[in-house]
A and B are shown apart, each in its own frame.
Chain A
Amino acid sequence: EPEVTQTPSHQVTQMGQEVILRCVPISNHLYFYWYRQILGQKVEFLVSFYNNEISEKSEIFDDQFSVERPDGSNFTLKIRSTKLEDSAMYFCASSGGFGQSETFGSGTRLTVV
């Protein structure tokens, strides 16, 4: 069964450092998403990406965040200067069409110290 792949599975970084979280969506999917989930809290939408541009973003997705699809397979989330409150599980997801169910990757657990 096709999978969304995320790397790394865990990342520890110092406050103020830049991090890049990587995702390989399912190959024939067209819509890509990043979500985060702080431990014990609800899943929160960050950004959606379609046709090589951001289609929607939440209030959480401020100037410290950016996304990129550098080639035909990878989809990355960059956090420019990490803060303690950025510590969370970050999930990448993809779907084949607008409104269709999303398949999630296994997540990257980011810890900012």
Chain B
Amino acid sequence: GQNIDQPTEMTATEGAIVQINCTYQTSGFNGLFWYQQHAGEAPTFLSYNVLDGLEEKGRFSSFLSRSKGYSYLLLKELQMKDSASYLCAVRERGNYQLIWGAGTKLIIKP
């Protein structure tokens, strides 16, 4: 079956670093996406991994290990505006649809 697991909620301090983990079990694999979603708004694309390793994009980095079915999103120099839900989504090989995790609600405290 298909399963994507993320922590439900995390809290971090402004200026700090936080790592949000995602584990997945799917039939085949053709890429993992991280999206940010502020309450009441649409998801916005953050990063994409299809090969093992780290992808860096400014304050955000994402890591993938296909053999472990594991990814993480690393957010550095946290800002209050980073308070949002972070959604992990996987595309299975040959499929169009994204399979979504339930999201991790990140709370940033001053």
Contact = CB atoms under 8 A, between A and B. Distances in A.
Contact of B45 (A42, A99, A101, A105): A101
Contact of A31 (B43, B96, B100): B96
Interface residues of B, number: 22
Interface string B90-110: 010001111111110000000
A106 interface: yes
| Majority secondary structure, B binding face | loop
Interface residues of A, number: 22
B96 A42 contact: no
Contact of B100 (A42, A56, A101, A104): A42
B80 to A, nearest CB: 22
B44 A42 contact: no
Contacts of A99: 30-31, 50, 91
Interface of A: 31, 33, 41-45, 48, 50, 55-56, 58, 91, 98-99, 101-107
Interface of B: 30-31, 33, 41-45, 48, 50, 87, 89, 91, 95-103
